[in-house]
Structure 1
Amino acid sequence: MKKSLSVRGKNTFQSEVTNIGAFGFWLMVEEQEYFVPFDDYPMFKKASVEQVFSFQQISPTQFHWHELDVDIELEALKEPNRFPLIFTK
């Protein structure tokens, strides 16, 4: 019998982008909203609306934007002062 490591089932994490503004966007995670500022995450500044909305929550605390090759940890949004570096490629 051949075994597969492919993931089955549906992602049950609850998260969504709720709004995009001039200075960043809001990410709703389990009933809590977090602001993602473009100054701290400049790769989103030139992204299309579709690219910002197109993300995957790959764990309870990690988000991935495949088209932009960007990952954000929830802890960095909860306590941005603990993560003072600005993301660059």
Structure 2
Amino acid sequence: MKSEKAGTTISDNKTEVTNISSHGIWLFHDSKEYFLSYKQFPWFKKATIKEVTNVEYSSKNHFYWPDLDVDLHLESIENPEKYPLVSKEN
């Protein structure tokens, strides 16, 4: 019996916060980087580095920050003007 070569992982999508600045955060996902400004995504402004960098790719095109209870769809990151805020910053 010959063993087959091991397959690839189910998801090769790498998701991580690559930079945090005084203007916003940069999210890297699937070979692309996205800028999330604090003006459009205020939940990250007062968060700790640990809270911001703890991001999960929870399902297709959804990102979840469990420490902040923030759930964002990729479409809202790419086109934030189409999704006005419905929540206020604490």
TM-score, normalised to structure 1, is 0.78
Residues 3-37 of structure 1: per-residue CA shift (max 9 Å, x gap): xxxxxx97643211110000100001111111111
Coordinate RMSD, CA, aligned: 2.0
Please name the residue that 1:78 is paired with.
78
In the TM superposition, residue 48 of structure 1 has moved relative to its aligned partner by 0.4
Give the number of equivalent residue pairs. Answer: 81
Q: Which has the higher contact order (CA 8 A, sep 6+)?
A: 1
Please name the residue that 2:41 is paired with.
41
Structure 2 letter corresponding to 1:28: F
In the TM superposition, residue 85 of structure 1 has moved relative to its aligned partner by 2.8
- Structure 1 segments, 4+ long, off by >6 Å, are none
Residue 68 (str. 1) matches residue 77 (str. 2)? no
Q: Write the distance in 2 (CA, Å) between the matches of 1:69 and 1:75.
A: 18
TM-score, normalised to structure 2, is 0.77
Q: Write the distance in 1 (CA, Å) between the matches of 2:86 and 2:45.
A: 13
Q: Write the distance in 2 (CA, Å) between the matches of 1:69 and 1:16.
A: 17
Unaligned runs of 5+ in 2: 1-8
Indicate if the aligned counterparts of 1:41 and 1:86 stay in contact, CA closer than 8 A: no
Task: Give the 5 Å matches for 1:1-80.
Answer: 12-80=12-80
In the TM superposition, residue 86 of structure 1 has moved relative to its aligned partner by 5.9
Aligned-pair identity (%): 36
